[in-house]
């Protein structure tokens, strides 16, 4: 066996040992596996040792850099740095570059002084930096954070002497100090911001071994809402870029950072480079050709934000920019070597730029140094050495025939070979086992025609070659069309057909349309039929690509474009308002315009946090509400609209752009007949009045009048079981509670959502009792799962703590009902009780289960609860006696 083969064999074995993705655990990655894998490092080491060749010429550039010196004088660290306003910006940029270049020097020379310097810089910053700030914070964190993460990856997996304790601490640092700034990309900005966030999100995912985060980054690269996803950055198959009309250095910045993400994905066995017929190469070739002085085709384009391009609201670009034409930045070597030498694909204009600029250097915004790090000889077709990479970038789209699932092609990165086939599996819930749908798929997409409409599925994919099968991909949850009763359609004369998706927790809508306004509307609508009175609540979450979109909630008489409607919408840039059309074809009117607050808006036009909206119909009165947290609501306006008893309620997506759609995402959606499953443990507020019950309204109003009088030391909140203290239990009430200035705040038939509404609408306003007791949920058994009911009880308690900070709370287990434990309603109540046993906090919140008082060997005592649900007078007496010592203690009586 010759030396080359021996060396390759050793390298491959070392990668297999280091690559958890081919050896163990489904959430593992190849390490080192960001910009440089073990093969890259060995290739550089050999060239530096031999002191000759193209790679060595690239090494000389690194050697001459002031930032690669082992005696580099660190300029930080600081607890905060940012851009616009600049806070320690130069210091952070310099130290990030020095950390990376010293780590690279260590890796290719073996000189420990460089490793020590890089470790010193990273440990110092990790012990100090808490956040990256500023209007340009996303761009700043995406560019400089990338250098820190790559440095850390090299040090951690090259026997540098960096302790694993420090390496783990660095994981937390990346997630706590860097990731929050770039987590949501920059859907409001040009593409280079987004690709900066993309490359660093991906790098952090791998360094922290977070498979779900990695999956989300690859998915964003191929299907993201903003200007940084591949098809939105490279807007036409010609290679024209989103920022081609802005300036050539901006176009190159976006491409260069996207190339960094593609290289990282490749080292994990995911071929972003090849996605959509080598779209990234087309962007590089187009930009290089134009920069070299040749003509390129041009088409008018309006970007995803609506700010840039033809008729852009911010910049009306109408031609290719000549700014920076002929200036080339250190981005071409890496991408050229991938296409030309790894994949044997012609890249003639990139080749010319590479020859012009070789050896490639570094810069402030780019890692660069591609001649050293990524030059390679042309590859020869070979057999795979390992199993292919774990598939990633799963995307689903519903069709009339089922669900189309696609993903990014898997490769074995060392041999540069594609996966030979894929296996697609699915299940209906996390509790089920996966069922194979097809195991002989040769291309990275599949049309699952067996999917049933309205059903939620969870898909995973594996890839196979001659060496084995990859780990399973991260799961993709998607519903075939929408869950009942939800439907979707375009309203009015839209230019691009929209669509709606649901993944088990979020609705994602894609819609065009001129406006929700004027005498008729144009938008995409996810909707459900509704009758009578009721409430819709939703949380608007990012991303929203069009900065002129109007997200929110709507009640609409018909699906005609000129239909009467009432809507709570966020208006550009960003204020909440009640938007309405009083009758068919009439002009739209806007009322209750409300600022969201500086904590939720950056630079007066970027929505920086999710926001809640609510619309309530009572008879023909429509009232809008806004909330920053889903707990504290502000009424903004009301309007009278003759709507009819049956109408439509739902979620809109309207870009307000011509021939450009917007993405709008909602979660925590609730309507009277449906609400979002609470998989993500988001507290979902769905307060609901019982407008149709006159007696209910009257009793609610009496409560409000009573609490206005004050002198309230004890309140009891609940449903009919508590309500009947006023009748069946009256004598017992007077004996035990009248002297305690008690007020009964219970109404027969109430469920948790009704309690939530009453607490928000005056029942506890202006009082500060010593104690509040709560027992609620027995009426929820027909409309909600135990998990939902328990969650609502926690929300009620949270509301009480917020509004009554000095009041202690006693939560009672739901009383038993039915004959025995086999009763279906009792089973649900018992489950709720199990889920809230830990609700107490020892000090202000307490939980008490007195249910044994009403049971005899698990059978309900008919002498206490004769109708199976409600106590008689003897039962109320038993209840009061069981509570007495606890109430006395919590009210401070003993």
Tell me the pLDDT tens digit for each residue of 697-724: 899 999 999 999 999 999 999 999 999 9
800, containing H or E segment = helix 786-803
| Close Cβ partners of 289 (under 8 Å, ≥ 6 residues apart) | 296, 349
- What is the chain's mean pLDDT, rounded? 92
Quick one: what percent of the chain has pLDDT higher than 90?
A: 84
Residue 544 has pLDDT above 60, yes or no: yes
Do β-strands 859-860 and 855-856 pair in parallel, antiparallel, or remain unpaired?
A: antiparallel
In tens, the pLDDT along 449-489 reads 999 999 999 999 999 999 999 999 999 999 999 999 999 99
What is the predicted pLDDT for the residue at 10?
A: 30
More confident site: 691 or 397: 397
| Close Cβ partners of 193 (under 8 Å, ≥ 6 residues apart) | 138, 139, 142, 185, 186, 227, 228
What is the C-alpha to C-alpha distance for residues 686 and 670, in angstroms, rounded to an integer?
A: 6
In tens, the pLDDT along 748-771 reads 999 998 999 899 889 999 999 999
Delineate the domains of the chain, giving CATH numbers in brackets. 392-479 (2.60.40.10), 487-672 (2.60.120.200), 694-890 (3.40.50.1110)
Whole-prediction pTM value? 0.82
Tell me what the mean pLDDT of segment 174-184 comes to: 96
Q: Using the CB atoms, write b or e for 352-371: b if 16+ within 10 Å.
A: bbbeebbbbbbeebbbbbbb
Tell me what the mean pLDDT of segment 147-157 comes to: 98
Residue 229 has pLDDT above 70, yes or no: yes
What is the C-alpha to C-alpha distance for residues 563 and 443, in angstroms, rounded to an integer?
A: 46
What is the C-alpha to C-alpha distance for residues 317 and 534, in angstroms, rounded to an integer?
A: 47
Query: By the 8 A CB rule, do 115 and 161 touch?
Result: yes
What is the predicted pLDDT for the residue at 393?
A: 98
What is the predicted pLDDT for the residue at 330?
A: 97
Residue 252 has pLDDT above 50, yes or no: yes
What is the predicted pLDDT for the residue at 14?
A: 34
In tens, the pLDDT along 367-378 reads 999 999 999 999
Tell me what the mean pLDDT of segment 108-135 comes to: 97
Residue 613 has pLDDT above 80, yes or no: yes
Return the sign of the alpha-carbon dihedral for residues 379, 383, 388, 392.
positive
What is the C-alpha to C-alpha distance for residues 49 and 735, in angstroms, rounded to an integer?
A: 94
- Range of weakest confidence among 343-357, 676-690, 775-789, 821-835: 676-690
At 691, the pLDDT band (50, 70, 90 cuts) reads low
Closest CA to 648 of 566, 562, 582, 541: 566
| Cis upstream peptide for 630 (omega within 30°) | no
Residue 5 has pLDDT above 90, yes or no: no
Per DSSP, which regions of 813-876 are E strands? 845-848, 855-856, 859-860
Please report, for residues 37, 103, 198, 676, the alpha-carbon distance to residue 865 in angstroms, rounded to integers and kept in the order given.
Answer: 72, 75, 62, 35
What is the C-alpha to C-alpha distance for residues 255 and 285, in angstroms, rounded to an integer?
A: 11
Residue 45 has pLDDT above 80, yes or no: yes
In tens, the pLDDT along 487-504 reads 999 999 999 999 999 999
Give one DSSP letter per residue of 342-360, joined into a string: IS----HHHHHHHHHHPSP
Residue 19 has pLDDT above 50, yes or no: no
What is the C-alpha to C-alpha distance for residues 228 and 555, in angstroms, rounded to an integer?
A: 34
**Burial of 787 from C-beta contacts in 10 A (0-12 / 13-18 / 19+):** middle
At 573, the pLDDT band (50, 70, 90 cuts) reads confident
Residue 381 has pLDDT above 80, yes or no: no
Residue 90 has pLDDT above 70, yes or no: yes
Quick one: what percent of the chain has pLDDT higher than 70?
A: 95
Residue 11 has pLDDT above 50, yes or no: no
At 563, the pLDDT band (50, 70, 90 cuts) reads very high
What is the predicted pLDDT for the residue at 1?
A: 32
Tell me what the mean pLDDT of segment 582-608 comes to: 86
What is the predicted pLDDT for the residue at 413?
A: 95
Residue 28 has pLDDT above 60, yes or no: yes
At 884, the pLDDT band (50, 70, 90 cuts) reads very high
Tell me what the mean pLDDT of segment 149-155 comes to: 98
In tens, the pLDDT along 391-434 reads 999 999 999 999 999 999 999 999 999 999 999 999 998 889 99
What is the predicted pLDDT for the residue at 791?
A: 87
Element counts in the chain: helices (H) and strands (E):
23, 38
What is the predicted pLDDT for the residue at 646?
A: 93
What is the C-alpha to C-alpha distance for residues 141 and 194, in angstroms, rounded to an integer?
A: 11
Residue 20 has pLDDT above 60, yes or no: no
- Range of weakest confidence among 568-577, 669-678, 875-884: 669-678
């Amino acid at each position: 066996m010759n030396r080359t083969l021996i060396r390759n064999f050793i390298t491959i074995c070392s990668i297999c040992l280091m690559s958890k993705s081919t050896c163990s655990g489904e959430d593992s990655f190849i390490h080192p596996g960001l910009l440089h894998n073990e093969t890259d490092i060995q290739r550089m080491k050999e060239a530096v040792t031999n002191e000759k060749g193209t790679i060595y010429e690239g090494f000389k550039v690194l050697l001459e850099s002031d930032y690669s010196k082992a005696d580099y004088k660190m300029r930080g660290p600081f607890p905060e740095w940012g851009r616009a306003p600049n806070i320690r910006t130069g210091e952070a940029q310099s130290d990030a570059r020095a950390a990376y270049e010293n780590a690279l020097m260590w890796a290719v020379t073996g000189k420990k002084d460089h490793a020590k310097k890089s470790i010193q810089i990273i440990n110092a910053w990790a012990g100090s930096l808490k956040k990256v700030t500023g209007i340009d914070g996303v761009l700043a964190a995406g560019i400089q954070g990338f250098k820190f993460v790559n440095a850390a990856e090299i040090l951690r997996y090259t026997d540098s002497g960096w302790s694993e304790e420090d390496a783990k601490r660095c994981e937390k640092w990346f997630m706590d100090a860097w990731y929050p700034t770039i987590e949501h990309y920059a859907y409001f900005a040009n593409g280079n911001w987004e690709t900066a966030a993309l490359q660093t999100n991906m790098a952090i995912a791998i360094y922290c071994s977070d498979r779900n985060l990695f999956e989300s980054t690859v998915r964003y690269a191929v299907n993201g809402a903003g200007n940084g996803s591949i098809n939105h950055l490279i807007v036409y198959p010609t290679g024209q870029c989103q920022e081609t009309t802005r300036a050539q250095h901006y176009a190159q910045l976006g491409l260069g950072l996207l190339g960094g993400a593609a290289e990282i994905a490749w080292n994990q066995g995911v071929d972003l480079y090849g996605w959509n017929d080598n779209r990234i190469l087309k962007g590089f070739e187009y930009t290089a050709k134009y920069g070299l002085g040749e003509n390129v085709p041009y088409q008018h384009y309006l970007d995803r934000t609506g700010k840039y391009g033809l008729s852009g609201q911010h910049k009306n670009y109408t031609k290719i920019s000549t700014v920076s034409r002929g200036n080339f930045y250190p981005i071409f070597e890496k991408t050229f070597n991938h296409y030309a030498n790894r994949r044997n694909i012609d890249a003639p204009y990139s080749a010319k730029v590479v020859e012009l600029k070789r050896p490639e250097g570094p810069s402030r915004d780019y890692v660069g140094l591609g001649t050293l790090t990524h030059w390679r000889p042309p590859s020869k077709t070979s057999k795979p050495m390992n199993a292919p990479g774990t598939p990633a970038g799963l995307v689903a789209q519903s069709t009339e025939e089922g669900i189309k699932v696609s993903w990014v092609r898997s490769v074995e990165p060392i041999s540069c070979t594609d996966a030979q086939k894929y296996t697609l599996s699915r299940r209906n819930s996390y509790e089920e086992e996966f069922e194979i749908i097809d195991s002989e798929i040769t291309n990275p997409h599949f049309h699952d025609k067996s999917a049933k409409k309205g059903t939620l599925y969870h898909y995973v994919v594996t890839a196979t070659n001659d060496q084995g099968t990859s780990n399973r991909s991260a799961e993709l949850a998607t519903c075939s069309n929408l869950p009942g009763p939800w439907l979707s359609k375009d309203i009015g004369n839209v230019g691009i057909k929209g669509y709606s998706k649901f993944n088990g927790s979020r609705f994602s809508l894609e819609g065009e349309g001129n406006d929700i306004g004027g005498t008729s509307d144009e938008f995409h609508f996810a909707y459900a039929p509704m009758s009578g009175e009721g409430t819709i609540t939703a949380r608007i979450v990012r991303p929203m690509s069009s900065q002129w979109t109007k997200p929110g909630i709507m009640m609409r008489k018909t699906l005609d474009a000129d239909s009467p409607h009432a809507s709570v919408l966020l208006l550009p840039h960003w204020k909440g308002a009640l938007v309405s059309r009083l009758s068919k074809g009439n002009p739209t009117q806007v009322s209750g315009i409300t600022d969201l607050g500086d904590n939720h808006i950056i630079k007066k036009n970027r929505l920086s946090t999710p926001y809640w909206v609510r619309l309530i119909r009572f008879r023909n009165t429509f009232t809008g509400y806004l909330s920053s947290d889903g707990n504290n609501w502000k009424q903004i306006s009301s309007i009278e609209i003759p709507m009819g008893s049956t109408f439509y309620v739902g979620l809109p997506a309207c870009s307000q752009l011509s021939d450009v759609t917007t993405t709008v995402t909602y979660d925590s959606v609730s309507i009277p007949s449906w609400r979002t499953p609470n998989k993500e443990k988001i507290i979902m507020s769905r307060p609901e009045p019982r407008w149709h019950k006159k007696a209910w309204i009257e009793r609610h109003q009496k409560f409000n009048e009573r609490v206005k009088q004050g002198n309230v030391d004890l309140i009891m909140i609940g449903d009919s079981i508590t309500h009947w203290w006023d009748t069946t239990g009256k004598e017992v009430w007077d004996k035990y509670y009248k002297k305690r200035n008690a007020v009964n705040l219970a109404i027969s038939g109430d469920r948790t959502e009704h309690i939530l509404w009453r607490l928000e609408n005056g029942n506890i306003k202006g009082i500060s009792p010593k104690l509040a007791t709560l027992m609620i949920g027995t009426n929820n058994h027909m409309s909600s799962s135990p998990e939902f009911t328990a969650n609502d009880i926690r929300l009620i308690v949270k509301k009480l703590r917020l509004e009554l900070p000095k009041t202690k709370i006693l939560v009672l287990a739901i009383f038993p009902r039915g004959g025995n434990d086999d009763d279906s309603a009792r089973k649900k109540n018992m489950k709720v009780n199990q889920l809230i046993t830990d609700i107490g906090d020892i000090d202000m919140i307490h939980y008490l289960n007195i249910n044994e008082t009403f049971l005899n060997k698990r059978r309900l005592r008919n002498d206490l609860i004769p109708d199976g649900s409600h106590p008689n007078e003897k039962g109320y007496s038993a209840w009061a006696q069981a509570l007495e010592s606890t109430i006395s203690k919590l009210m401070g009586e003993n």
